[in-house]
Amino acid sequence: MSGLLMILFQGFVFSFCFVWLTLPLPIRTNRLAAAVVLYLMFTLLYVPSTSSLLEAVLRYGKFILFYSVWGLVFLKIDKKYALFLAVFCTALMGIWYSLFQIFFLFFNLQNQNLLVYVTGLARIGSVMLFRQAIVLIDENRTISLPELFISTFPAMTSFLANLVIYSLLDDLEQRSRGDTLLISFLVLFFGLSTLLILAGTEVYFKSARYAREAKAAEDQLNFQMQLMLKEKEKDEELKALHHDMRRHLNTLNRLSEIQQVRDYVDQLKAAAETTVYIETGNPVLDVILEDKRRLCQTKGIELKAGIRLDQAQFLSPMDLCTVFVNCLDNAVEAAEQCAESERVIEIAGGWIHENLVVRIQNPFVHTVKKQKGEWLSTKTDGGAHGYGLKNARKVVEKHGGTLTAEIQGKEFVVTWMIPKPQNA
């Protein structure tokens, strides 16, 4: 591989890796054109690798600058997030050359072209792995200064230590075998430490964010549960009042001798009898569905409910709230984006062969994507989201059941089945 071909190959690797890492993020222009710009930046300004410490530090400092500027110009993200991604990718790019250099020295391989090629493949493979399984790439992600410091400073410190030790390889032939082994060990140690620090800090902050969002979703659900229990008390009082009013109207109708009064009472009775309540055999579910029906009415959505949940006392009020509220909230959000004539949510369920089976289906218009077996949320508000179906599935599986979500034509269908407990 000639010097020119090496520069072209390295430019491709460095630009491709950052473009691939940031692929899920929204971009301000054509992504291919932006990728070409980054490729030209590396191709025209790239300096081939040497063992000089100063040149190495300046080279990777230039990487951080290129990545940061490109991210700010072409991606719709804030400055701290752009800097984090730039440092992250730079450390991931820089560490592999020294690691493979030690490997080549150990096996006495002198093929520089092969070293560059293998290192490039390792860089591409590591970026793909990190983006898929480790680093959190999200347009709504915000990074505080403390998080930026903790995420980048330890990794860059280890990376710089790796570069310092690596610079000693220049006069390796003049050193003893013991010194050579020690230098090689330290290069490997700080190189692998950099990778572990990058992965560890990102996994920690990603888990912490998921935990915060899950806690926020749980708190919201608990609050909604308390409101529904209060609503249930009011609903029972209203039903009792409605029943008494019909009795009073019947008595008034029999006692009245004026036809106009009787006609008026008949109209009141007819109006009272048209008041329909959703009755499922479970008071908590009655309140949940009644609340969602009123919500649907405000959004022009028809809610069709044909469900009986008798003998389902093994499901606690919180279980019912978690499953039904999460699924119905998702259904309402999807249905209100559809044309008015298509805004229909259907709920059906009951006992079938000692199994409680429930099905909720709703129309949708946005493209729905699936990742790692889970449907991805289409929300863009940056809040706690993506946990609805996950939390519902946890409740169902806790009772030995299964939950499936699938697309059937233009409908999104969620179905779950829970076997009847032996002691129920």
Span 156-166, pLDDT tens digits: 888 888 888 87
pLDDT for position 257: 56
Question: What size, in residues, is the chain?
Answer: 424
pLDDT for position 413: 93
* DSSP class per residue in 294-322: HHHHHTT-EEEEEE--TT-TTS-HHHHII
pLDDT for position 250: 63
Q: What is the mean pLDDT of residues 116-122?
A: 92
Q: Among 3-12, 39-48, 132-141, which is the least confidently predicted range?
A: 39-48
Q: Compute the distance between CA of residue 319 and CA of residue 313 in angstroms, rounded to an integer.
A: 10
Query: 340 versus 245: which is more confidently predicted?
Result: 340
pLDDT for position 381: 43
Task: Answer yes or no: is pLDDT of 36 > 90.
Answer: yes
Task: Answer yes or no: is pLDDT of 309 > 80.
Answer: yes
Residue of 404, 403, 398 lying closest to 421 (CA atoms): 398
The end-to-end CA distance of the chain, in Å, is: 74
Cβ atoms 116, 1 nearer than 8 A: yes
94, with CB counted inside 10 A (0-12, 13-18, 19+), is buried
Q: What is the mean pLDDT of residues 201-228?
A: 75
Mean pLDDT rounded to a whole number for the chain: 81
Q: Compute the distance between CA of residue 128 and CA of residue 135 in angstroms, rounded to an integer.
A: 10
Q: Which of the listed ranges 105-109, 218-222, 289-293, 395-399 does the model predict with the highest average pLDDT?
A: 395-399
pLDDT for position 35: 93
Q: Compute the distance between CA of residue 21 and CA of residue 286 in angstroms, rounded to an integer.
A: 47
Write phi, then psi, for 330 (nearest 5 degrees). -60, -40
pLDDT for position 8: 86
Write phi, then psi, for 347 (nearest 5 degrees). -125, 130
Q: What is the mean pLDDT of residues 80-95?
A: 91
Span 15-33, pLDDT tens digits: 999 999 999 999 998 999 9
Q: Compute the distance between CA of residue 74 and CA of residue 32 in angstroms, rounded to an integer.
A: 11
Spatial neighbors of 210 by CB under 8 A, at least 6 apart, are none
Neighbour-count burial for 37-65, b at 16+ CB within 10 Å, e otherwise = ebbebbbeebeebebebeebeebbebbbe
Span 336-395, pLDDT tens digits: 999 998 999 999 999 998 899 999 999 988 766 555 556 555 554 434 345 678 888 989
Residue of 314, 320, 298 lying closest to 422 (CA atoms): 314
How far does CA 212 lie from the centroid of its chain?
13
pLDDT for position 142: 80
E strands of 208-363, at which residues?
302-307, 344-352, 355-363
Angle between helix 53-74 and 145-167 (nearest 10) = 150
Give me the residues paired with residue 349 across strands: 307, 358
pLDDT for position 115: 87
Q: Among 11-15, 267-271, 356-360, which is the least confidently predicted range?
A: 267-271
Give me the residues paired with residue 75 across strands: 27
* Portion of the chain with pLDDT greater than 90, in percent: 28
pLDDT for position 380: 44
Q: What is the mean pLDDT of residues 110-116?
A: 84
pLDDT confidence of 173, banded at 50, 70, 90? low
pLDDT for position 385: 40
Q: Among 67-81, 198-212, 297-311, 399-413, which is the least confidently predicted range?
A: 198-212
Spatial neighbors of 61 by CB under 8 A, at least 6 apart, are none
Task: Answer yes or no: is pLDDT of 288 > 90.
Answer: no
Q: What is the mean pLDDT of residues 59-79?
A: 91
